């Protein structure tokens, strides 16, 4: 499947390999949504807690307005699902087998008439660029 825009990722179970030009194009589209949202939630499916935390930290390093607390206390064995909420700053992690791999990002709104939108899965290293 050809990945040309952000919505193309939504049908995937695991993140694809993306070229630099695809990352640039998708990031531009994604950031328009992030900057328009009141807050985001982040779900990370990863082969280990270390990989999930690294992916989360790459997001917080890129966007200074996104911060999370108590990352050093996170631990889970094997494949994991990590969920972070920008509004509360809370992050939770649990062991979970059978997931794909990647970052799911949901744009949330204070106004309940606006519907939240989830994007991804994005590669775990997507925000390192």
Fold observed for domain 6-122: Dihydrodipicolinate Reductase; domain 2 (3.30.360)
Beta-bridge partners for 95: 80
* DSSP designation for 52: H
Task: Note the pTM of the prediction, 2 decimals.
Answer: 0.93
Average pLDDT, rounded, for the chain: 93
Query: How many CB atoms sit inside 10 A of residue 110's CB?
Result: 9
In this predicted structure, what is the pLDDT of residue 113?
Answer: 86
Q: What is the pLDDT of residues 115-124, one digit of tens each?
A: 999 999 999 9
In this predicted structure, what is the pLDDT of residue 128?
Answer: 85
Q: Report residue 49 as tokens.
A: 């807690």
Q: Is the pLDDT of residue 129 over 80?
A: no
Q: What is the pLDDT of residues 3-52, one digit of tens each?
A: 989 999 999 999 999 999 999 999 999 999 999 999 999 999 999 999 99
3-state secondary structure of 15: coil
In the chain, the percentage of residues whose pLDDT exceeds 70 is: 98
Q: Report residue 123 as tokens.
A: 């590669």
Question: Left (φ > 0), alpha (ψ -120 to 50) or beta: where does 84 sit?
Answer: beta
Reported as a pLDDT band with limits 50, 70 and 90, residue 1 is low
In this predicted structure, what is the pLDDT of residue 71?
Answer: 80
The domain spans of the chain are 6-122
């Amino acid at each position: 499947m050809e990945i040309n825009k952000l919505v193309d990722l939504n049908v995937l179970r695991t993140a694809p390999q993306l070229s630099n030009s695809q990352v640039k194009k998708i990031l531009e589209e994604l950031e328009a949504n992030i900057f328009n949202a009141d807050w985001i939630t982040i779900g990370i499916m990863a082969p280990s807690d270390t990989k999930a935390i690294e992916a989360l930290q790459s997001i917080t390093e890129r966007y200074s307005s996104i911060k999370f607390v108590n990352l050093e206390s996170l631990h889970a064995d094997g494949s994991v699902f990590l969920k972070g909420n920008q509004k509360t700053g809370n992050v939770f992690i649990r062991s979970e087998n059978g997931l794909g791999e990647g970052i799911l990002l949901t744009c949330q709104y204070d106004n309940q008439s606006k519907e939240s939108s989830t994007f991804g899965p994005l590669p775990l290293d997507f925000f390192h660029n």
